[in-house]
């Protein structure tokens, strides 16, 4: 009956024999721990039982089929000489028991059925408590075929308590239904056992003594009686030795595991003496306690079971004086005949065994040869398979190469088609652009004039017939007059009749300015085409050159205004370079061509030298070649002077020179060299315009370095106007506007003084205005 329980009182195992079935798994260790904690007291002895698996024997002797009927069962079951691996298995359990002050005894059983061996041993030894470890799956992992704990619980005797322990807890329990036998062959050895450094496997008492019987006490005979009658095997043979003193084997010999045993190796001395004709076996007493027939049957059965002669030597007890008188010669002859018969049967059995071994060896050799042939065939098959795989790999590789070549050819074909299509598209686009350009030029030539035409009479009346008092400057191609047209102050630039390129210059400027509208470009109000007169808006504060050189005793420009004017010039110049349909290059950018109105807003003027160039001119690589250079010497791009190649970065060079003049107020000749030397020597502050006392030196230094980059001799070293120059100028402009805002709040602003000066100039003060110098 199974009774699950998690705790067992130690009183249950206090007086009875406690045994533990162990194996290599961890559940055996946890079962030992539970056993010591729950069943065993300190000083008590625990039997550690291990069943060593032995291959099953299919034919058994009838005398050994029942363990109770076989007196030698316990000796055949118990392994008397365990191997080192089995001994090592007991080591951790013994160490743990020693640490817990528990004595232990090692028992090694050898059988093909683990549960059966345990149950038979428990029955034979009258063990009252048996602890078995169970794994998480099917009990012992080693015995996966059968449920060992379940079979043990079912087959154990009814006087034994069986505990199945899993992970330190009782998984199941089968209680005993009756008390155990009071007499046990192992009870006295267990109680008298003392722990030693190395515990040897326990060996049972002689097989002639059953488990529930006390060993018979031999009759005490007198010396005379012992001399008059002795056991037949105590008589000496011709060699001076008794039959009981003949040498026996020291260890068990297994019939199955031995190589090619022979009767001479098993009993060498014994059968040597038997072979000698001088030995006459004595008669045996009828009252001896040795069952001779059973001993002979055990000798005949040694082919299946281990033959252990040393463990079960024939024991002969002394008999009474009457036994000698009862022996007879006929009985002695029967014994001798039986011994000869057994010897003959044993020799025949050994011959049969030798023949079987030879046949087994031959079969083994054939099996080895067959295995070798099989391995050779497998190797050949594997080589053929590998060769086939290699061939398939080569074929697949060639297919991949073929596919790759086909794909590459198709890709090249597609690329060629795309290139051809691109070329066709480019040609069509070029034709379309050429047609659009032609249409634009034709439309420009035949379109209505976008400016107001003035007659020569209106021009003469306004300028008082070009009076000297109205003249405010001299341009590159003629004088400039200040007057009023339509009640608006204007500046009229008159083309000189003796100018060789005057007419073409006039037409060019009219075409350009009539299509330009920008806050930083001088506005063209009208023209008189017949006499070459251009009418511009009037700029009250003159040119940037006049302000820097303080002509007419004008106040100096503050650094805030200079930074703002620089940003405005860059913005207007970028507008020219991005003009559509084609970029415009100014070619004569200088302070004299930068005009400032009454609000100190700067505007670019004098685009008379500006040329319409193809769009590729705006690129940094492709340039437009001019037949003759034009512009002011110090401001002209050196590469343009040498090669006549015109580009948008030609204006960037002029812009850099002009920026240096804005912060130094010095002439343009050699200015870049002086500024670079001052920066290297650390005297840059001395180069700044002294009329401005509050220069921000750090920002002025950045402005000067930007100007030096713009004035590089090589065009490719100059920065881009839209991506590099203008963002930096706008940053400086923002700083200037922030500073100017705080100054206006304080009420002391240079710009306010500039406004007052401009108002005075408009009221009749002497004016200085230059349209071109």
Task: Let me know if 756 is exposed, middle or buried by CB neighbors in 10 A (0-12, 13-18, 19+).
Answer: exposed
Q: What is the mean pLDDT of the chain?
A: 74
Is pLDDT of 754 > 60?
A: no
Query: CA-CA distance, 693 to 748, in Å (whole number)?
Result: 14
Is the pLDDT confidence value at 76 over 60?
Answer: no
At residue 387, the pLDDT reads 95
DSSP conformation letters of 95-130: HHHHHTT-EEEEEEEEES-HHHHHHHHHHHHT-SEE
Q: How far is CA 666 from CA 427, 505, 655, 694, 698, in A?
A: 52, 31, 15, 18, 20
Per-residue pLDDT reduced to its tens digit, 564-616:
999 999 999 999 999 887 788 888 899 999 999 999 999 998 775 555 444 44
What percent of the chain is predicted at pLDDT more than 70? 64
> Rounded to whole angstroms, how far apart are CA atoms 702 and 217?
127
Residue 168 has a CB neighbour count (10 Å cut-off) of: 13
In this predicted model, which residue has the larger pLDDT, 728 or 529?
728
Q: What's the whole-number mean pLDDT along residues 105-120? A: 90
Tokens 């602003």 -> residue: 749
According to DSSP H, which parts of 665-725 are helical? Answer: 671-681, 684-687, 697-710
pTM above 0.75, yes or no: no
pLDDT, residue 24, reads 83
Q: Average pLDDT for residues 366-375, to the nearest whole number? A: 95
Residue 246 clears pLDDT 80, i.e. is over it: no
Q: How many CB atoms neighbour CB 373 within 10 A?
A: 10
More confident residue, 332 or 242: 332
Residue 632 φ/ψ, nearest 5 degrees: -90, 140
Respond yes or no: is residue 588 known to be catalytic.
yes
Q: How confident is the model at residue 193 (pLDDT cuts 50, 70, 90)?
A: low
Residues 301, 63 contacting (CB under 8 angstroms): yes
Could you give the C-alpha distances from 483 to 371, 464, 472, 741, 759, in angstroms and in order? 125, 9, 10, 35, 17
Please identify which of the residues 23, 74, 588, 637 carries the catalytic annotation.
588
3-class SS of residue 386: helix
Query: From CA 102, how far away is CA 89, in angstroms rounded?
Result: 18
**Percent of the chain surpassing pLDDT 90:** 42
Going from the N-terminus, what domains does the chain have, and what CATH number goes with each? 10-192 (3.40.50.620), 243-316+331-447 (no CATH), 454-538 (3.30.200.20), 540-762 (1.10.510.10)
Strands 45-53 and 103-111: parallel
Rounded CA gap, 456 and 557, in Å? Answer: 39
For the ranges 184-198, 213-227, 649-663, the maximum mean pLDDT occurs at 649-663
Higher confidence at residue 313 or residue 24?
24
């Amino acid at each position: 009956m199974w009774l699950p329980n998690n705790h067992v009182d130690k009183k249950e195992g206090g007086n009875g024999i406690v045994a533990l079935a162990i194996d290599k798994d961890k559940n055996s260790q946890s079962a030992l721990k539970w056993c010591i904690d729950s069943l065993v007291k300190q000083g008590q002895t625990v039997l550690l039982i291990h069943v060593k698996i032995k291959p099953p024997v299919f034919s058994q002797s009838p005398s050994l089929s029942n363990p109770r009927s076989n007196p030698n069962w316990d000796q055949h079951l118990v392994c008397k000489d365990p191997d080192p691996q089995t001994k090592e298995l007991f080591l951790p359990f013994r160490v743990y028991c020693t640490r817990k002050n528990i004595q232990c005894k090692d028992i090694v059983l050898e059988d093909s059925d683990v549960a059966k061996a345990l149950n038979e041993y428990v029955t034979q030894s009258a063990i009252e408590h048996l602890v078995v470890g169970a794994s998480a799956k099917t009990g012992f992992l080693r015995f996966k075929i059968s449920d060992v704990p379940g079979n043990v619980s079912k087959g154990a005797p009814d006087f034994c308590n069986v505990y199945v322990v899993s992970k330190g807890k009782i998984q199941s329990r089968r209680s005993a239904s009756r008390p155990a036998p009071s007499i046990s062959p192992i009870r006295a050895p267990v109680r008298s056992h003392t722990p030693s450094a190395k515990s040897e496997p326990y060996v049972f008492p002689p097989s002639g003594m059953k488990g529930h019987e006390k060993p018979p006490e031999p009759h005490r005979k007198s010396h005379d009686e012992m001399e008059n009658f002795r056991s037949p095997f105590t008589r000496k043979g011709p060699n001076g030795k008794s039959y009981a003193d003949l040498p026996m084997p020291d260890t068990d010999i297994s019939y199955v595991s031995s190589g090619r045993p022979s009767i001479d190796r098993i009993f060498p001395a014994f059968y040597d003496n038997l072979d000698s004709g001088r030995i006459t076996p004595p008669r045996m007493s009828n009252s001896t306690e040795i069952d001779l027939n059973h001993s002979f049957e055990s000798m005949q059965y040694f082919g299946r079971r281990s033959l252990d002669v040393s463990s079960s030597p024939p024991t002969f007890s002394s008999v009474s004086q009457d036994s000698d008188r009862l022996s007879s010669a006929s009985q002695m002859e029967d014994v001798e005949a039986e011994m000869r018969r057994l010897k003959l049967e044993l020799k025949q059995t050994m011959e049969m065994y030798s023949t079987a071994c030879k046949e087994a060896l031959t079969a083994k050799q054939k099996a080895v040869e067959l295995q070798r042939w099989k391995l050779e065939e497998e190797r050949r098959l594997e080589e053929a398979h590998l060769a086939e795989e290699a061939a398939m790999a080569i074929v697949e590789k060639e297919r991949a190469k073929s596919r790759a070549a086909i794909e590459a050819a198709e890709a090249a074909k597609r690329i060629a088609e795309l290139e051809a299509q691109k070329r066709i598209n480019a040609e069509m686009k070029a034709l379309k652009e050429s047609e659009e350009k032609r249409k634009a030029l034709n439309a420009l030539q035949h379109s209505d004039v976008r400016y107001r035409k003035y007659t020569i009479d209106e021009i003469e009346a306004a300028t008082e017939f070009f009076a000297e008092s109205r003249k405010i400057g001299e341009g590159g191609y003629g004088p400039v007059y200040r007057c009023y047209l339509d009640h608006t102050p204007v500046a009229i630039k008159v083309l000189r009749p003796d100018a060789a390129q005057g007419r073409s210059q006039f037409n060019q400027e009219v075409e350009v300015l009539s299509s330009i509208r920008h806050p930083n470009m001088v506005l063209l109000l009208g023209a008189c085409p017949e006499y070459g007169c251009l009418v511009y808006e009037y700029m009250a504060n003159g040119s940037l050159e006049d302000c820097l050189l303080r002509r007419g005793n004008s106040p100096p420009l503050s650094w805030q205004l200079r930074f703002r004017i620089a940003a405005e010039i860059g913005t207007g110049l970028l507008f020219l370079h991005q003009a559509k349909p084609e970029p415009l290059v100014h070619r004569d950018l200088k302070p004299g061509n930068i005009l400032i109105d009454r609000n100190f807003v700067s505007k670019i003027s004098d685009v008379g030298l500006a040329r319409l160039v193809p769009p590729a001119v705006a690129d940094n690589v492709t340039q437009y070649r001019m037949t003759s250079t034009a512009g002011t010497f110090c401001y002209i791009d050196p590469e343009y002077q040498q090669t006549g190649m015109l580009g948008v970065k030609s204006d960037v060079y002029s812009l850099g020179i002009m920026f240096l003049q804005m912060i130094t107020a010095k002439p343009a000749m050699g200015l870049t060299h002086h500024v670079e030397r001052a920066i290297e020597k650390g005297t840059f502050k001395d180069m700044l315009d002294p009329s401005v006392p509050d220069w921000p030196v750090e920002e002025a230094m950045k402005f000067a370095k930007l100007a030096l980059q713009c004035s590089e001799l090589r065009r490719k070293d100059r920065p881009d106007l839209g991506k590099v120059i203008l963002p930096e100028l706008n940053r400086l402009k923002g700083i200037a506007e922030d500073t100017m805002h705080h100054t206006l709040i304080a009420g002391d602003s240079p710009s306010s003084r500039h406004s007052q000066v401009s108002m005075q100039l408009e009221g009749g003060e002497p004016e200085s205005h230059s349209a071109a110098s």
